[in-house]
DNA sequence: CGAATCCTTGAGTTCCCTCAAGAGAAGTGG
DNA sequence: CCACTTCTCTTGAGGGAACTCAAGGATTCG
């Protein structure tokens, strides 16, 4: 796929003119990262941001003891590290490819030029940043005010909505260890809680596929109205 | 103070032309909130955002059981709830005045008009949103990867930097109960940890004033290299 | 089929929350 | 200015959720 075609598939760039797509295509750097490769590390000089063309990328923090907290998992079409373009000069977290991924790197200065002359791009960017803020606020709320079963229930319901609520089957796009890290816990604890949820009939879990058997019950777990026995 | 003068003191609006200040001054709604009054609640229709002219405002989430998690405490010159202008339609958290406060409400549509024709305002806004994202990312990291002593140490050092690092004395701008809520804990736990830090010579705490006696040691507590005995 | 990775299960410990009550500070009114 | 209420903070005892450490089972991949 050409660079221009790939750019057209990125929601953030919706509304650019032909000429602007060309300008953008001139400055982006087409990059490939194999599964497990680091894209950047916390503290690296943040000279631009990325959009994912294909694959999957995790943004995460590490504690000195090596525990990991995933901030976000991004897929095709999504930008990441945009904040580095507008604030501060270094990346505030690590980024690693979870699958073999193709990404475009967009240098800060070129993008700042482009956005100056394009209000709709600016609006898209502000909408994107705002959405991230909202998700982070939600994450803080979950970490501080909910226990792990509540966080897991909330996440399962979130996936249920994302993936077209028709069926009761949701697909965890990531492994259990990663899911644990995203929920602010560890694999052992996640495993135990999945088992308990299954025994109590809330879900039916098999590999990366989970059946939501009792959405109502999960909702109550998520809000803290009910507790896992 | 006139509306225009007050607006000029807001960093977000730096770079506006005379005429744009006038436009803005025409649409803002000047409001006063007494200490303890709610400015908006989670889920309320988010038809605009606010800037604080004077006073102090907390943005917070509540659990069903009534536990509170403060997301941010804002002071004079700072905007809040900007995200509501660009994403979603309802406020994702609660806002309450911690002191008697004067705020300007800025309706969404008027602001979107203004920002469309003013790239520098858009840049300011994106910088502001990016900074918030960074702070939230930090908060998630702290909640998930640090224990309460580490979070407290990190916060004290943060205040130390904010308040001109010359003296070792920092001023907690908020009460202990609020600080606990900001750190994702409860007043009892915070109190115990302050006592322990004091006994071990890291700090000297008296009311809202705290002496940082051992910045190096606090740093080590914050990173998790050292533990509170 | 074997190796490596990922996931699960068990036992023990720790941090922090809950519940309860007392001490201190701050604001009000006589 | 002092008693009073009220709010805020501190201290204690007990319990629970989740983490650490350790090892066994399941999946995946070459």
Using one digit for the tens of pLDDT, what is the confidence trace for B112-133?
999 998 999 999 999 999 999 9
CA distances from residue A75 to A81, A103, A107, A128, B206 in whole angstroms, order as listed = 13, 10, 20, 14, 50
pLDDT at residue A2 in the model: 84
Distance CA B198, CA A18 (A): 64
> Which bases in strand C are touched by protein, i.e. have an atom under 7 Å from a CB?
6-11, 15-20, 25-26
Fold equal for B3-120 and B146-223: no
pLDDT tens-digit readout, B55-96: 999 999 999 888 999 999 999 999 999 999 998 789 999 999
pLDDT of residue A189: 98
User: Running DSSP on this structure, what letter comes out for residue B132?
Assistant: H
pTM given for the model: 0.95
Q: Which residues of A touch B116 (CB under 8 A)?
A: 119, 123
Placement of tokens 């940890």 in the chain: B193
Number of A to B CB contacts under 8 A, please give it.
Answer: 146
Give the CA A12 to C1' C13 distance in Å.
Answer: 49
Domain boundaries, chain A: 3-120, 146-223
pLDDT tens-digit series, residues A82-109: 999 998 789 999 999 999 999 999 999 9
Q: Cα torsion at B14, B18, B19, B23 (round to 10°)?
A: 50
Please tell me whether any atom of strand D lies within 7 Å of the Cβ of B188.
Answer: yes
- Fold of domain B146-223: Arc Repressor Mutant, subunit A (1.10.10)
Spell out which residues of chain B touch residue A133, defining contact as CB-CB under 8 Å.
83, 87, 129, 132-133, 136
Angstrom distance (rounded) from CA B70 to CA A76: 33
| Inter-residue contact B31 to B84 (CB < 8 Å) | no
Q: Which residue is nearest to nucleotide D10 (CA to C1')?
A: B191
Q: Which of A89-93, A145-149, B49-53 has the lowest mean pLDDT?
A: A89-93
DSSP chain A: --HHHHHHT-GGGTT--HHHHHHHHHH-EEEEE-TT-EEE-TTSB--EEEEEEESEEEEEEE-TTS-EEEEEEEETT-EE-THHHHS-SB-SSEEEESS-EEEEEEEHHHHHHHHHT-HHHHHHHHHHHHHHHHHHHHHHHHHHH--HHHHHHHHHHHHHHHT-TTSSEEE-SS-HHHHHHHTTS-HHHHHHHHHHHHHTTSEEEETTEEEES-HHHHHHHHHTSS---
Cross-chain Cβ contact A61/B137 below 8 Å: yes
Contacts of B194 (CB under 8 A, 6+ apart): B152, B176, B203, B205
Distance from the Cα of B15 to chain A's closest Cα (Å) equals 14
Give pLDDT, residue B202.
97
CATH of range B3-120; options 3.60.20.10, 3.40.50.2300, 1.10.1240.10, 2.60.120.10: 2.60.120.10
User: Which residue on chain B is closest to A90 by alpha carbon?
Assistant: B134
pLDDT value for A173: 93
- Identify the CA nearest to B221 among candidates A22, A148, A161, A64: A64
Instruction: Tell me which residues from 159 to 188 on chain A have a beta carbon below 7 angstroms from nucleic acid strand C.
Output: 175-178, 187-188
CB-strand contact B198/D, under 7 Å: no
């Amino acid at each position: 796929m050409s660079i221009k075609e790939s750019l057209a598939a990125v929601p953030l760039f919706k509304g650019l003119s032909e000429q602007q797509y060309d300008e953008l295509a001139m400055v982006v750097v087409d990059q490939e990262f194999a599964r497990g490769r680091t894209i950047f590390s916390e503290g690296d000089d943040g000279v631009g941001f990325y959009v994912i063309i294909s694959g999957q990328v995790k943004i995460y923090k590490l504690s000195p003891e090596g525990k990991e907290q995933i901030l976000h998992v991004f897929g095709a079409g999504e930008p990441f590290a945009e904040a580095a373009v507008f604030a501060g000069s270094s990346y505030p977290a690590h980024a690693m490819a979870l699958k073999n991924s193709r990404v475009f790197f967009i240098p800060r200065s070129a993008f700042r030029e482009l956005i100056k002359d394009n209000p709709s791009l600016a609006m898209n960017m502000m909408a994107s940043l705002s959405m991230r803020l909202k998700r982070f606020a939600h994450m803080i709320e979950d970490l501080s005010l909910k226990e792990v079963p509540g966080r897991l229930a909330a996440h399962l319901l979130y996936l249920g909505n994302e993936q077209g609520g028709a069926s009761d089957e949701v697909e965890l796009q990531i492994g259990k260890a990663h899911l644990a890290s995203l929920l602010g816990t560890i694999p052992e604890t996640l495993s135990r809680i999945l088992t308990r949820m299954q025994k109590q009939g809330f879900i039916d879990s098999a590999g990366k596929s989970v059946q939501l058997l009792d959405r109502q019950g999960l909702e109550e777990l998520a809000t803290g109205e009910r507790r896992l026995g």
